[in-house]
Structure 1
Amino acid sequence: MRIAAHPSTESAPSTADPLRWRALAAIAAGQLMVAVDVTIMNIALPSAQRSLHLSTAQRQWVITLFALAYGGFLLLGGRLSDLIGRKRCLLIGLAGFAAASALGGAAVNSTMLLVARALQGIFGALFTPSALALLGTTFTEPAERGKAFGIYGTVMAGSSGIGLILGGVLTSYLDWRWCMLVSLPIAVGAAAGVSATVRATPRRLGTEVDIVGAVLATTGLMALVLGFTRAESQGWATPITLGVLAAGVILLALFVLVESRTGAALLPLRVVRERRRAGAYLAVLCMAIGMFAGFFFLTFYLQDILGYSPIKAGLAFLPFTAAIMLGVRVIRGFLMRAPLRLLLCPGLLACAAGLALLGLLRADGGYVTGALPVVVLLGLGVGCVLLPANNIATLGAGPDTGVAGAIVMTSQQIGASLGTALLGSIAATATTAYVHSHAAAADLPARAAVHGYNVAGLSGAAFLCLATTLVFLLTGPRNPNQ
């Protein structure tokens, strides 16, 4: 499908633009708002579940649906930024995200909340590719680029911890609905900053929008997540579960086939054929699988097992943000000098170690010896992975800068949705098996739940170790001189 843009007289951004640092601040504020909403509902979830009478499956979809809509539409958002202009995409994304947040804050049933979360993801997907593309094309000098991506990486990586803490504070002192409504003032401030500081970019004439590719990618990913989610309640061997998973694989295979044969691909395969860039995408995907599943389990461990209040549970994640900042600070000094594999692989191994420690949690355990090491290791891992991945994705991408940057966030959000669904299903299966085999055990519900977290954590750790090996091989040099 071809949608032609009209000529524009807008001027392109300049690296000498005196407003570029203010523009970075405005873009970072908007991206912080979007990224915070990935985790802000985690802490509020038990309260929202009671308020709206959500089922266990619906509870998980409050987290998964946002990540899936966000990740599923990011590539399309990258193409639309070329069609209508990046500044317009930023402003439309902020306005739509604010409206969706207001809808969620006013939700009176599960349907309203789930629709709001999906819309937040869609409008967030319109905002993020333009933000990354502007960052990549505005800061081209090595020193400025390292600093700008360091700031952006800190915001992105720290947003998860900020979301958890903010969710705890708002849920404890106000109401879970404020976890949705808090986006409104941030969106207004970010929109004002974008309007005043971001230069409009020219729209590309004759830009094509790959509607077929967008439909195949989104429906394929949704089918996979739905299959993993059904496995939790229906079992892995049921015909419906296997059928939905098979449909997801087939749809994604068709997506790759379509992208290889169209001249206006939603995901130009040349972007992912570059080995270092592909390795970065794989690292982000696997890191997100571990991180978001770890957050999901720790949230319920802290509140349901250790008896933490929402605000105490949120504050328990504060070391995560500190660990991210430490990881970003260390990696930033090596960003333009060290081989990519030596930046990504230690981060993945740190995440794997965190999940392995999740496998050692006990129902009668505590925060300092149980949850805290998991939180710190996940934070260090995320900080070490995201900064070099964002940098390499847009470095030298040329006309594919918007899409190349979007794939980083696509990888993260798809990893978040798949990780929560897949490892959540593994945890649920292990919990059910524990209940059946330990029916006479004391404190059975708590022990069974923690056993599920243990099995899922160890499974995730093994997966990340395998992923680290693949990333190391993929990003390694083809010859000794690279």
Structure 2
Amino acid sequence: MNASAATAARPSIAPPAPRSSHRWWALAVLALAQFLVVLDASIVNIALPTVGTALGLDTAALAWVVTAYVLPFGGLLLLGGRLADRFGHRRVFLIGVAGFALASLAAGLSVDGTMLLAARAVQGAFAALLAPASLALLTQLFPDGAARGKALGLWGAVAGMGSAAGVLLGGVLTASFGWPAVFFVNLPVGILVLVAIPLLITRDRTSGGERMDAAGAATATLGLAAAVAALSEGGTLGWTSPIVLGLGSAALALLAAFVLVERRASHPLLPFSFFRNRDALAGNLVMLLVGGSTVALFFALSVYLQEVLHLDALAAGLSQLPLAIALIGIAGVVPAVVAKAGLRSTLAGALVVLGAGVVWLALAGSTGFVAGFLLPSVVIGLGLGATFVTATQLAVRGVSESESGLASGLVNTAQQIGGALGLAILGGIAAAQTSALLAAGSGATAATSGGFLLLFLGVAVLAITGAGVTALVRSR
């Protein structure tokens, strides 16, 4: 038998999983990259008025500065996870980081609205490669046991902190250096990641010659993008707007086509057998609800602090620092709690704490900054940090190494879709209540406060619903 025949006769062996003699340093760099991805969804919010003045953008165009990033990010996450499984998690991660950094440079150098929106869309597309690949690398560097719990604890805390830190850093950078700084800050971090990861993670893993599900990728990507667009624009244009109805109908048709394609594909983008893993199913459902809670909550807080508590933009950002500190601090405690109480019990308890903190904030009224905002925000940070840690851990528990990119893409997709849905629905409820109170003769501050009361209570309902999902969707 000749050499080529002997080679063909041997079964193919997948390359070894990523290994690193400095895996905790590698985790820190991966978490830093994920922090940037989450941060960029919120850091531009406070800078938007300055951006509008500099580039001549009206309110509708400014809303697209956020939407242009969220659309490709949410729509491409599932595909990004599968590409990482197919071509290598480290390779796809580094491509995502490089593209994200270059798009950030282009955004900061933008001279008009068209250039900025295009750069933001490219940012979102490369973020959809970066995010699932980084979480997949984490699960492979920490295969199981207490070390994985600690690693996911740090990961969840850093990812959750990105939402809280966006308002703080956006205010500081815009006030100190101007609006381009909210994009330029990604460059040094991106360069650090690109240099460090090849040194810290020396081996990659691919799934070999498995064909990509092109039809599934196209229908899933376009369907998710249409769904995110419909949810994002519903609150602005109205739910009966022809544009919103058209996007919603397209999303339903494309996602229905995706289901049909996946049932017949030999190598599906999303094998429905994946959801036989009840832990992954429950974790993704909870992350959907938590995404809705988080995006709506931090959007409301930035407005609530300025229009109800009358703080300026910088003070509003600094006021969320205790929440961020609580969110990070709980990460070191969660693994020990999980070891004693169990993962699902800890997740359910964290969601209850989150809901209780939001209810406290909603009902505190005008009791002063400390009792009315500071203390409930610390409780919210504790509940939110523990929730991110345990929901992520549940969503990837029991997932095979060959599907780690898929699992990571699903977690991020659930969070993004949940965020768009939560903000659209709860933001719409708050706006309607505010308008009703204004029509009834209430002052502007009282009307805004009344609208946010309903939004905060809605966030609490989502959190408690997540606790119920955790208890009902049991492992088997």
TM over 0.5: yes
Structure 1 position 414, deviation (Å): 1.9
Alignment of 1:269-280 (within 5 A): 269-280=272-283
Alignment of 1:30-429 (within 5 A): 30-238=33-241, 240-357=243-360, 359-360=362-363, 366-398=368-400, 399-429=402-432
* Distance in structure 2 (CA, Å) of the matches to 1:214 and 1:361: 47
* Distance in structure 2 (CA, Å) of the matches to 1:61 and 1:418: 16
Q: 2:311 aligns to what SS in structure 1?
A: coil
Q: Which amino acid aligns with 1:395?
A: R
Q: Which amino acid aligns with 2:459?
A: G
Structure 1 position 52, deviation (Å): 3.5
Change (3 A) 1:61 1:297: farther
Most deviating of 216-225 and 394-403: 216-225
Q: Which residue of 2 aligns with 1:454?
A: 453
Q: Which residue of 2 aligns with 1:5?
A: none
Structure 1 position 91, deviation (Å): 1.5
Name stretches of at least 5 consecutive residues in structure 1 with no aligned partner: 1-7
Change (3 A) 1:133 1:228: closer
Q: 1:43 aligns to what SS in structure 2?
A: coil
Q: Which residue of 2 aligns with 1:473?
A: 472
* Distance in structure 2 (CA, Å) of the matches to 1:147 and 1:84: 28
* Distance in structure 2 (CA, Å) of the matches to 1:53 and 1:366: 38
Identity of aligned residues (%): 38
CA-to-partner distance for each residue in 1:102-139, whole Å, 9 max, x for gaps?
A: 12112233333332222222111111222112211121
Q: Which amino acid aligns with 1:450?
A: S
* Distance in structure 1 (CA, Å) of the matches to 2:377 and 2:371: 11
The 8 Å contact of residues 172 and 311 in structure 1, kept in 2 or not, is answered as yes
Most deviating of 395-404 and 52-61: 52-61
Change (3 A) 1:466 1:73: same
CA-to-partner distance for each residue in 1:6-38, whole Å, 9 max, x for gaps?
A: xx99953465x4232332232222222222223
Change (3 A) 1:258 1:344: farther
* Distance in structure 2 (CA, Å) of the matches to 1:189 and 1:397: 30
The 8 Å contact of residues 86 and 200 in structure 1, kept in 2 or not, is answered as no
Q: 1:42 aligns to what SS in structure 2?
A: coil
Change (3 A) 1:243 1:130: closer
1:12 aligns with 2:16: yes
* Distance in structure 2 (CA, Å) of the matches to 1:49 and 1:366: 33
* Distance in structure 1 (CA, Å) of the matches to 2:353 and 2:115: 38
CA-to-partner distance for each residue in 1:416-446, whole Å, 9 max, x for gaps?
A: 22222332222223333333333xx4x43x3
The 8 Å contact of residues 361 and 450 in structure 1, kept in 2 or not, is answered as no
Aligned residues: 464
Structure 1 position 318, deviation (Å): 0.7
Question: What CA RMSD, in Å, does the superposition of the two structures yield over aligned residues?
Answer: 2.7
Structure 1 position 473, deviation (Å): 0.4
The 8 Å contact of residues 279 and 475 in structure 2, kept in 1 or not, is answered as no
Q: 1:397 aligns to what SS in structure 2?
A: coil
Q: Which amino acid aligns with 2:386?
A: C
The 8 Å contact of residues 223 and 251 in structure 2, kept in 1 or not, is answered as yes
Q: 2:40 aligns to what SS in structure 1?
A: helix
Change (3 A) 1:350 1:256: farther
* Distance in structure 2 (CA, Å) of the matches to 1:452 and 1:111: 34
Q: 2:45 aligns to what SS in structure 1?
A: helix
Q: Which residue of 1 aligns with 2:8?
A: none
